[in-house]
Structure 1
Amino acid sequence: MFSKKSLVKGIWFKSIGWKLTLWYASLFMLSILLISFFLYQRLEFQLHQEVDLFLADEMNEFRQFVIEHQDNLPLIERQMQRESAAIRKHYQMYYGILDAKGKTILQSSEFHLPVSKSRSVDSSILVDSDVKEYEINDEKDTYVVRIATRSIQSQNDFICYLQMGMNLARIEKTLSNYCKNILLISPMFFILSLAGGLFLARRNLKPISHIIQTVSRITVSNLKERLPMRGTGDELDGLAQTFNQMIERLDQAYQKLSQFSVDVAHELRTPVTSLIGEIEVALSRESLPKEYRTVLSSNLEELTRLMSLVNNLLFLSKNENPEQVKDRKTIELNEIAHDIAELFKPVAEETNVTLSTDILPIPIYISGDKWRIEQLISNLLDNAIRYNRPGGSVIVSLNQNERYAELIVRDTGVGISEEEQAKIFDRFYRADPSRSWNSGGFGLGLNIVKSAVEDYSGTISVDSQLGKGSTFTIKLPLQSHFRSSILKP
């Protein structure tokens, strides 16, 4: 999604998409935890607040009852038990009445105040105050109780202390269930965050994938192609605009360089042609001294090589012109291959190399420029003969399948090392510079071949071993409306 197939099939966790997904999932889970903690605190506060309000209301009602019936302890005790039993259906309530010294006068059966070792009540709980929370330990269990304490007075005379408490077991259970539910749904949230992060990462990085695909298509032959602008004005549009500006500068620089090469080649072609003509005229004179003839023959040979270099440069310049590449016609490949092979047979015989053909005896049509195809085959045969050994052989084969014409040039020459096979198609690359120069090569032949093959949407490959020879295989797309005639005589 984020690049070419090699990136998609690679180790995805190293990609930006994976990192963004993890960041999104981590931030999402952190947000969930913070929100859950905040809600837990709010829930705990509100539950305790409701308990405190309930205790305050009950305290006011029971306090008034105690004031009205302060001389009737049995009645107060019965009312205490009735209140405790009625509320016990929902919450566990505790009631207690103490004197000024903290001695228990009345209390509900479940109420046990925190006491010291002397069995006297802690004086801190005998002070009028807001509701306090205590942890009470008995023989069976430990529980948390919120206790409210109020003094009861009648006409400024102290009567007693009234205490009410509520066991927070249900509230603690509610809070515990809340935490368990959060832990239970956390994995689901994490999976959802990963899925959401992956979706957002792919969606946001999809334009980058398009940029990568477009950039991978831009070569020397199509520097006019530009990255599409989405018009959003974001960073990706800025990146595309910057890259387009860079390609524009490269295109201008390349056009100037190509034009310079063409101009230099043209400027050299005229004087070199003139020199070759003059030397050939001079060599045609029988009266020319032998010493001069030797020097002029050597000069003629070097000028011929220089002219070959000039012609190759002009050929490359023509190949890299998009308008020239578009000028294609239907040509019969087997006829061209046969004619070029026949043309090179005398050259092969001079070097004691056998040149043979194995060409399918039916028309094979492709779309292209006849001159470029001739140059392509000529360069392959020239290399196969030039770097062959005396008594060696060169075989030119031509076949076709459903989609491609397959041209194979196989020789028994010196071969190419595995390290050099990746470089032989580079411009001006020569495996052995001294040998290539002495044999008339400039390192442009295979580059011209590769350039032509790629312009015609074909492929070229080489299989070679040192000392055993080389095999060059070229596949060129068949002309579409001739594909149905495959294998029909």
Structure 2
Amino acid sequence: MKTNTQKLLLAVLFTLFIVEMISFYQSQIWIMFIIFVIFSMCAMQYARACREESEEELEDEKENSQDLQAKYSDLKGRNDRMKSEFENQVELNERKLEASTEEIAALNSQLNSAMRFDALKAILPAQAQFNKDMDAISLVPVIRSVIRDYHQAIKEAGIVVQISEPDEIIYVRAEEEIIRRLFSNIIDNAVKFIDRDGKIIITVSQVDDEAIVVVRDNGIGISESQLNHIFDINYQGDNSTLGNGLGLAQVKAIVDYLGGKIYARSTQNDGTGIFIHLQAE
């Protein structure tokens, strides 16, 4: 196909040729007429040829445009499918990751529970044999018996121990020796860490089907950072020389073993209280 520049050059050369011919034959009218007719016919033929060529080029461009559009549509379709597949895969992977995370968390929780159970079992008194047929025992007489056992240590420490109890008898279903060990550890811990001339107040009450025992002292208290760990195994706090870190951990193990709950509250320079909830009969 000729370019536009080539077409323009041919038209200029043809026009110059016609002008030359007219100048040469201007004295011959009939020759000029023939030349004009020939020129007109050639011009029309040339115009027709240019039009056909333009139409062919336009058709080619149209076909090329359609091909490009088809390729674009195909590429866009493949891109959309790949994007959709990628998003679906990402969503699937996120669901798998979430499921795996939940499964790991569940397994970790089970492992921690098993480790905690083994650790607590290791520090429980040897005679702990929980069963539903345990006798119901009166709680307050056991606590008073423990206080009598520590009478000499309490006296030497210059500590006053008071106990407040309700008029009605409070029973809990447990082995007596286990309850003795529970309160022995608490009294022993309080005697060790309270200052001379201190006071320990033990309050026993019952609310619905719960026996609640609060052991409170007027010592220096425990910081919040330590308070969160006083029931942890082997935790000794700032007074590591006074204990092996098993006393209160064993207390919690016993309370858990009996199906109860235990927690502590403390205010710096205003003492500490240990709250014990047990199932009452």
- TM range, normalised to the smaller chain? 0.5 to 0.7
Of 366-375 and 413-422, the range deviating more from structure 2: 413-422
Unaligned runs of 5+ in 2: 1-44
Q: Contact 2:261–2:277 at 8 Å: present in 1 too?
A: yes
Matched, 1:171 2:67: yes
Question: Are residues 202 and 363 of structure 1, via their aligned partners in 2, closer, same or farther at CA, if it must alter by over 3 Å?
Answer: farther
Deviation at 1:358, TM superposition (A): 3.1
Equivalent pairs, count: 233
Question: Are residues 389 and 462 of structure 1, via their aligned partners in 2, closer, same or farther at CA, if it must alter by over 3 Å?
Answer: same
Matched, 1:192 2:88: yes
Matched, 1:429 2:236: yes
Give a deviation string over 1:327-377, Cα, whole Å, max 9, x none.
562434633455346636855456443322233444544443221111111
Give me the whole-angstrom Cα distance separating, in 1, the residues matched to 2:104 and 2:246: 36
Q: 1:454 aligns with which of 247, 252, 256?
A: 256
Structure with max Cα Rg:
2
Question: Are residues 107 and 399 of structure 1, via their aligned partners in 2, closer, same or farther at CA, if it must alter by over 3 Å?
Answer: farther
Question: Are residues 336 and 170 of structure 1, via their aligned partners in 2, closer, same or farther at CA, if it must alter by over 3 Å?
Answer: farther
- Aligned partner of 2:221 in structure 1 is 415
Q: Which has the higher contact order (CA 8 A, sep 6+)?
A: 2
Q: 1:112 aligns with which of 42, 47, 54?
A: 54
Task: Output the TM-score relative to the length of structure 2.
Answer: 0.60
Q: How does 1:65-464 map to 2 (within 5 A)?
A: 109=51, 111-112=53-54, 145=60, 167-181=63-77, 189=85, 191-203=87-99, 207-219=103-115, 221-222=117-118, 316=123, 319=124, 324-327=128-131, 329-332=134-137, 334-336=139-141, 338-340=143-145, 343=148, 346-347=151-152, 348=154, 351-401=157-207, 404-422=210-228, 424-425=230-231, 426-427=233-234, 429=236, 431-432=238-239, 436=242, 443-464=245-266
Question: Are residues 350 and 144 of structure 1, via their aligned partners in 2, closer, same or farther at CA, if it must alter by over 3 Å?
Answer: farther
Q: Contact 1:430–1:442 at 8 Å: present in 2 too?
A: no
Deviation at 1:206, TM superposition (A): 5.6
Secondary structure class of the residue paired with 2:219: coil
Cα RMSD (Å) of the superposition?
4.3
Q: 1:472 aligns with which of 264, 274, 280?
A: 274
Q: Contact 1:338–1:359 at 8 Å: present in 2 too?
A: no
Q: Contact 1:332–1:363 at 8 Å: present in 2 too?
A: no
Between the aligned residues of both structures, percent identity stands at 18
Task: Output the TM-score relative to the length of structure 1.
Answer: 0.38
Give a deviation string over 1:118-145, Cα, whole Å, max 9, x none.
xxxxxxxxxxxxxxxxxx6xxxxxx793
- Aligned partner of 2:28 in structure 1 is none
Q: Contact 1:463–1:472 at 8 Å: present in 2 too?
A: yes
Deviation at 1:451, TM superposition (A): 2.6
Secondary structure class of the residue paired with 1:219: helix
Give me the whole-angstrom Cα distance separating, in 2, the residues matched to 1:460 and 1:416: 16
Give me the whole-angstrom Cα distance separating, in 1, the residues matched to 2:228 and 2:77: 62
Give me the whole-angstrom Cα distance separating, in 2, the residues matched to 1:186 and 1:397: 72
Give me the whole-angstrom Cα distance separating, in 1, the residues matched to 2:139 and 2:81: 71
Q: Contact 2:194–2:217 at 8 Å: present in 1 too?
A: yes
Unaligned runs of 5+ in 1: 1-102, 115-135, 137-142, 147-165, 224-253, 259-315, 483-489
